[in-house]
């Protein structure tokens, strides 16, 4: 509970956290259960539209924060959390409910979930050590998130076009797994570098 109190104080340092970019991040969290609900009821078109809105919000929240000079402590915390919540929900929903007959293998879902949870716990641990600690988004991390979103869009387009080639998508999954692992190693390197410089 103590580290949650520190997190709350860190966020409260902002004069105003209620900004357009932060609202877009919160929107992604709200859309996550809506996406899962749509796939559960096989409402493919609404699910696709929800995913597009979430993707656009992810694309513009950081950009708006910089252009409008609205970068806040709350935004630095909520943006990566919103990304992870939505992507975990999206892949898990596709794995268990599918996009009609199109499914994602469970091994990939477990890999994504374990990676994201490990990174969230790691960030919380380092934040507890140093309240000013942040891991800057890397090109690997951005490429991983973008590739995952593009892959899900392709799954929807495959459904709409009635064209689905499992071997082709299996190779994409292997590529996404490798890319995700590389980004995880890069973040781990940043954390290790921070610890070495701290001692």
Tokens for 47? 């699910």
| pTM score over 0.75 | yes
Q: Following DSSP, what letter does each residue of 3-56 receive, concatenated? A: HHHHHHHHHHTSS----HHHHHHHHHHHHHHHHHHHHHTT-HHHHHHHHHHHHH
Q: What sign for the dihedral angle of Cα 182, 184, 189, 194? A: positive
Residue 8 to residue 116: CA distance in whole angstroms: 22
Walk along the chain (199 residues) and give the pLDDT tens digit of each residue: 555 555 455 445 555 667 888 888 899 999 999 999 999 999 999 999 999 999 999 888 777 777 777 777 777 778 888 888 999 999 999 988 988 788 888 899 889 888 888 888 877 776 676 655 565 667 888 888 889 999 999 999 999 988 877 778 888 999 999 999 998 888 888 777 766 776 5
Altogether, the residues listed in the chain come to a count of 199
pLDDT at residue 7, rounded to an integer:
47
Q: What is the fold of 2-198? A: 1.20.120
What ranges in the chain are assigned the alpha helix state H?
2-12, 20-40, 44-67, 73-96, 106-129, 139-161, 166-198
Q: What is the pLDDT of residue 27?
A: 93
Where residue 69 falls (left for φ over 0; alpha for ψ -120 to 50; beta otherwise) is left
Cβ(76)–Cβ(25) below 8 Å: no
Residue boundaries of the structural domains of the chain: 2-198
pLDDT of the residue at 93: 93
């Amino acid at each position: 509970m103590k580290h949650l109190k520190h997190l709350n104080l860190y966020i409260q340092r902002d004069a105003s956290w209620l900004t357009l970019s932060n609202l877009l991040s919160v929107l992604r969290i709200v859309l996550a259960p809506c996406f899962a609900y749509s796939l559960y009821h096989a409402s493919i078109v609404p699910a696709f539209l929800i995913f597009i809105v979430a993707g656009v919000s992810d694309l513009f929240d950081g950009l708006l924060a910089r252009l409008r000079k609205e970068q806040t402590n709350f935004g630095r915390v909520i943006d990566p959390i919103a990304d992870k919540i939505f992507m975990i929900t999206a892949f898990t929903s596709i794995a268990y409910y599918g996009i009609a007959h199109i499914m994602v293998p469970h091994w990939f879902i477990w890999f994504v979930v374990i990676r994201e949870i490990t990174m969230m716990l790691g960030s919380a641990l380092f934040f507890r050590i140093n309240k000013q600690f942040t891991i800057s988004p890397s090109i690997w991390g951005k490429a991983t998130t973008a590739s995952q979103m593009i892959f899900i869009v392709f799954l929807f387009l495959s459904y709409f076009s009635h064209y689905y080639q499992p071997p082709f998508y299996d190779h994409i999954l292997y590529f996404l797994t490798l890319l995700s692992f590389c980004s995880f190693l890069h973040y781990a390197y940043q954390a290790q570098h921070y610890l070495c410089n701290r001692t």
